[in-house]
Structure 1
Amino acid sequence: MTLHTTYPWEAPATGPAAAQATQMEMCVPTLETPRLSLRPMRLTDFSTFHAILSSDRAIYMEGPFDRDEAWAEFTQCVSGWMLRGVGYFAIVKADTGAVLGFVGLGMEFGDQEHELGYFLTEDAEGFGYATEAAEAVRDFGLGQMELPSLVSYVDLPNTQSAAVAERLGAKRDAQAEAMFPEPVQVWRHQLEAYA
């Protein structure tokens, strides 16, 4: 399938470069849950990523973003695998192959610790997909990858994201919250199960 776009940087590679990209993608794990496949992000996922980040759904992520800003966020989510050994996954519904959103382990500019982040399309909300995906990635990060700590940064009015963190057993960390100039919730994911 050839993707035609007026933005050449969004078009998939061809020839030997495409083969190299496929080899690199194979180095990123795929995680399975009862209903989901969490696979490496691909260029073809950018349309879903951009749709989420350019909408009002991104208000809690310092958005909405224009296309260039969304592209910068997208590449940052993918590059974590190369730079830090962890990054973001596309959340794919196992039975249909539909991309529902994104979940991952990030360390963006300004972060103090690895962050467990998650965001879905509007149609995917309300089915428990965020919790299911985030639980698998939390276990991967704290277990297999042995991250020294893991938090979720949540804007104060983002009650849905806070509810996911709470369902995962995370606890608010007032000391970490006090280090930020702007009010933010810091939900700390527990290490005890992985010691």
Structure 2
Amino acid sequence: MTERHEMPPRGKAALLAARLAEEVPELTTDRLTLRAPRVADFELYARIVLEQDGHRLFGLADRAEAWHDFTNYAAGWLLHGHGIWTVTPRSGGAALGFVLIGLEPGDREPELGYLFSPDHREMGHGHEAATEARRFALDTLRLPSLVSYIGADNAASLVLAERLGAHRDHEAEALLGEAGIQVWRHAGPEGGA
């Protein structure tokens, strides 16, 4: 049985939620749409972060922790002006994964993050969505810096960070002080951090 907090809002609350979602910038690429998250998207988010690899990479123990993580990123739009997008095919259809500009407790600077369902990995979706989210963060929001915090054992994300042109920042890793976490810095609009 679906818990109440995982059900979409109804009535006037649904109308308000829809109006707020309209304020989240919708981004498009050749193949993808990055749109505001919806309650219904949580099912995919939970599956990704709680799968065997996801559990190891994200460290979330159960659906309740996954819900808190998902809603933290969604709330980022209200609190920081950036947050999580749900990634869908541009032609419509089911969600493929998520890309985000996040700021969690312990983060020293905004993070570009990406997570996709196993069925949609290694298809270029992560690169395409992350490239557009990075463009928005650096060119539109003009964030002074953007990094990706990546577990040293997350080979796929490390490869993607390199494909995105990010470089490893050992100084930022030392300041972060989290064993096993690498910091990958994304170049700003003029090529700087």
Deviation string, structure 1 residues 81-123 (Cα, Å, up to 9, x no partner)? 0000000100101234121110010000110100000000000
Q: Which residue of 2 aligns with 1:98?
A: 94
Q: Which residue of 1 aligns with 2:186?
A: 189
Contact 2:138–2:189 (8 Å) recurs in 1: no
Deviation string, structure 1 residues 23-69 (Cα, Å, up to 9, x no partner)? 10000011000110000000010110111111113121224x31101
Query: How many matched pairs?
Result: 190
Deviation string, structure 1 residues 128-150 (Cα, Å, up to 9, x no partner)? 11000000000000010111100
Contact 2:139–2:189 (8 Å) recurs in 1: no
Distance 1:130 1:107 in 2: 19
Q: Give the AA of the match of 1:69.
A: E
Distance 2:95 2:191 in 1: 30
Distance 2:189 2:19 in 1: 35
Contact 1:142–1:194 (8 Å) recurs in 2: no
Unpaired segments of 5 or more residues in structure 2?
none
Q: Which residue of 1 aligns with 2:69?
A: 73
Distance 2:15 2:178 in 1: 45
The answer to whether structure 1 residue 39 and structure 2 residue 30 are counterparts is no
- Tell me the TM-score normalized by structure 1: 0.93
State the SS of the aligned residue for 1:177.
Answer: helix
Unpaired segments of 5 or more residues in structure 1?
none
Moved over 6 A (4+): none
Q: Which residue of 2 aligns with 1:169?
A: 165
Q: How does 1:1-195 map to 2 (within 5 A)?
A: 5-58=1-54, 59-63=56-60, 65-179=61-175, 180-193=177-190
Give the share of equivalent positions with the same residue, in percent: 42
Distance 1:135 1:7 in 2: 35
